[in-house]
Structures are given as structure tokens and as C-alpha cells.
Amino acid sequence: MQVLLVAVRVKVRVSHGSRSKVVTVLVNGGAESEEPVIVLRPEDALELGTSLENFDVIEVELATGISRSLISRDKVKVELLDERGNTLSYTYAYLVVDEGLTEPLITDATIDELGIQVVSFRRGLWRHRNDPPDMFRSSALR
């Protein structure tokens, strides 16, 4: 039996200085942070022109134990995009770089700041806080 795993994923534009990159991120309500955070792979962070000299090492508590990652001292701009690439909302978030990351993600604080309201994780449905109550958006493809 083949199991199809669906989750809520959205497209965001991450900007650092004059560089930007559109990334599909996992909406991970289980990833907790006090401030907005976006977690990217090292290659994505390098495309944004970030310098590892501007990062600090932090310990991250995961369900499987403690891990170490890099966190930026400065925030990046994160824009939530609709299916046509228009900006729905934006926030400023710390950039965490994780070498073992399997897919980029945003934390609970970032989800709230961007106004993402999950309707169904299992069916990959969400809406933006400014959408009508009967509007449902489908998860972005990886």
C-alpha cells in the first residue's frame, strides 16, 4: 500500500539585501520559536548572499534530541506568496541554517506573523487571515 503524505506547504520569497529567492516551505506548527524563524539549507542561504560570519551557533531542541544549527544575527524579509506570486503578507525573521535539513520550514511564530491559518494539515489546506471564511488554498508543491 502506497501512502501519500500531504502537508501544508507555502511559497515564500526570502530577501536579504538586494538578493531574494522563492522557496517552498513546510508550515510546521510543531516547530516552536519565540521570534519568527525560517530554516533553510546552506545552499539556499548562500544564494541569498549571507555570510557565515554573521551567524551564531545555537542548540535546537528536537523531538529526537538536541541539535546544533546556525542562526543569523540579522533578520531577513519573508513574504508569503499566493499562487500567482503576489505578496499576501510579510514579516522579518531570523534565518536558521541547518545542514541536515530535508526541506525548508517556518516556525509557529512565523506562521502567525504571516497570517497563515491551517484548515487541514492532512489535506494540505490553508487560508490567509484576509481570505473569506469559505476560501481554501491548496498546499504548494515541493
Return all residues near 73 (Cβ < 8 A) that are at least 6 apart: 54, 55, 56
User: What is the CATH number for 14?
Assistant: 2.40.70.10
Strand partners, 91: 78
Give the pLDDT confidence score for residue 39 in this predicted structure. 96
Whose grid coordinates read 555570510? 51
Whether residue 2 lies inside any domain: the answer is: no
DSSP H helical ranges for 1-142: 42-47, 108-114
Whether residue 83 lies inside any domain: the answer is: yes
Whether residue 134 lies inside any domain: the answer is: no
Give the pLDDT confidence score for residue 64 in this predicted structure. 72
Return all residues near 51 (Cβ < 8 A) that are at least 6 apart: none
In tens, the pLDDT along 82-95 reads 999 999 999 999 99
Q: Which residues of the chain have pLDDT under 50?
A: none
Give the pLDDT confidence score for residue 90 in this predicted structure. 98
Distances (CA, A) of 70 to 38, 94, 98: 12, 10, 7
Give the pLDDT confidence score for residue 99 in this predicted structure. 86
Task: Provide the domain limits for residue 110.
Answer: 9-125
Give the pLDDT confidence score for residue 4 in this predicted structure. 55
Whether residue 63 lies inside any domain: the answer is: yes
Give the pLDDT confidence score for residue 84 in this predicted structure. 96
Whether residue 52 lies inside any domain: the answer is: yes
Whether residue 24 lies inside any domain: the answer is: yes
Whether residue 138 lies inside any domain: the answer is: no
Domain count for the chain? 1
Do the beta carbons of residue 60 and residue 68 sit within 8 Å?
yes
Whether residue 32 lies inside any domain: the answer is: yes
